[in-house]
Amino acid sequence: MAEQGDKFPTTVEAAVRLLRGLVPDDEKAKIVLMAEDDLMMLHFGLGQWVRNHLGLWGDNSALLQATGESNADDASGAIVWAFWLKLRDDLPKVH
């Protein structure tokens, strides 16, 4: 059986890297343009995928702890928020 580190990302940064590779470019383009207050609209889409596939319901206590949150719903929100920040950071800077 694989170790937890082999199965799931155990840091927010690793989860964000995974999402950057998995989320299609057209979806990333929509997410990057969202206002921070609108990120909650991703709770039942991307957030649900994060909760269900990254082990936040119990198998990945390291990632849950890394988010600083105490439950899977809030932890997935923290990961989606970090993903959104990274996408925004990747935007070309206009001077």
Q: How far is CA 12 from the centre of its chain?
A: 7
The pLDDT confidence band at residue 77, using thresholds 50, 70 and 90, is very high
Q: pLDDT: is 56 or 4 the higher one? A: 56
Residue range 31-53: mean pLDDT, rounded: 97
d(CA 51, CA 56): 5
Question: What pTM did the predictor assign?
Answer: 0.90
The pLDDT confidence band at residue 1, using thresholds 50, 70 and 90, is very low
